[in-house]
Structure 1
Amino acid sequence: MLQAAYDLPEDLIMLARAFIILGIAAAAAIELPQYLTKVAPAPVENADAAVQDEPSVQKANASTRPGHARIAADAQGHFKARFKLNGKPVDGLIDTGATLIAFNQSTARRLGFNSASLDFKYPINTANGKTLAAYVKLATIEIGDVRVRDVDAFVMKDQALSGTLVGMSFLKRLSSYTVADGALEMKF
């Protein structure tokens, strides 16, 4: 009888250990897929389409038909790709909430715009508040087999914008753009 009294706590300890291990396994089963979704690169339809120096930005997959391009959404559902602005490669994010294409002064200099000639006089509202922008016109913007000429754009101070937003001044010049099956299809 005395022996049975000592076995009971040992059985409880083993049972508690089993519940702890089971709890850790359950938490891992729930959290691991979410973690992998955050750290895994976005699927790319074509292995050659991945940009080598920045995995979060893709080259557009050109269709066999001229004037088409396709961008797969990243893990957050954003459409990021490498565009050519005035013939120079620029990583951009499609933003249907942006009226014009917008990029910062550093990018503007790379594209051939003289900083001294930029007139920051246009008040604009951004997600980060109000700021001033300079109006410019891009000679060309290209992605995949899509090429649009004479596109309106805004240049913002470097501290006001870190990336490039490809807005409606580009998208409205296309014959169509659609989102289906996790990809943005553009036709010119």
Structure 2
Amino acid sequence: MASLTRWVLCAAALCLLIAGRHIFTKGAAGTASDSHAMPTAMSVSVPSSGAIALHADRSGHFLTTALVNGRTLSMLVDTGATNCAFREEEAESLGIRLSPNDFTQMVGTANGTVRVAPIRIRLLQIGPVAVRDVEAVVVPRGRLNANLLGMSFLSRLREFNVAGTRITLRG
């Protein structure tokens, strides 16, 4: 239970970290050999062409498997996050190599101030729903528990709708 509480607090902290920031980008190529497995509590249905419905896990979170520049990553849907956010470890698996000088944006969180690295994702896809040229940030190693699918993706969809334990994304 303490681990779940810590995870939720970290996710909330990152929402605060990213909220209100308009992040400019740094080009990044997406090549990697590593991918991370999707949590097993998530379920997905495809209601129609160009749309996907995600069902909440037992904790009420919407988890999904995304194709990010052609590589598979697990992500947590976060409507409170201005931008998509990636753990530094996942960015490395995508072939995004960052130096300390790339972490140029200072943002405040409930846990203090942290520097993030602005990036741009060529293609981010959830099932049949794809968005090109997505603004995102990379959060330093150990400062983020899950990759976040934020509003820089969601706001570019035709529609997204939350109804009970289901969120539907329409491209």
Same fold? TM cut 0.5? yes
Number of the residue aligned with 2:39:
54
Q: Distance in 2 between matches of 1:156 and 1:125?
A: 12
> Kindly, what percent of the aligned residue pairs are identical?
34
* Runs of 4+ deviating beyond 6 Å: none
CA 1:53–1:121: 2 relative to 1, 3 Å: closer
* Greater Rg over alpha carbons, structure: 1
CA 1:102–1:74: 2 relative to 1, 3 Å: same
What are the within-5 Å matches in structure 2 for residues 33-182 of structure 1?
A: 54-58=39-43, 60-63=44-47, 65-116=48-99, 119-182=102-165
Q: Distance in 2 between matches of 1:53 and 1:117?
A: 29
Q: Secondary structure at the match of 1:160?
A: coil
Question: RMSD of the TM alignment (CA)?
Answer: 1.9
User: What's the TM-score once normalised by structure 2's chain length?
Assistant: 0.72
Q: Distance in 2 between matches of 1:146 and 1:123?
A: 31
Count, aligned residues:
135
Q: Distance in 1 between matches of 2:69 and 2:38?
A: 21
What are the within-5 Å matches in structure 2 for residues 14-33 of structure 1?
A: none
* Displacement after TM superposition at 1:56 (Å): 2.8
Greater length-normalized contact order (CA 8 Å, ≥ 6 residues apart): 2
Does the 8 Å CA contact 1:57/1:91 hold for their aligned counterparts?
no
User: What's the TM-score once normalised by structure 1's chain length?
Assistant: 0.66
Letter of the structure 2 residue corresponding to residue 54 of structure 1? P
* Displacement after TM superposition at 1:126 (Å): 3.2
Does the 8 Å CA contact 1:122/1:134 hold for their aligned counterparts?
yes
Q: Distance in 2 between matches of 1:118 and 1:82?
A: 30
Which sections of structure 1, spanning at least 5 residues, go unmatched?
1-51
More helix as a share of residues:
1
Q: Secondary structure at the match of 2:115?
A: strand
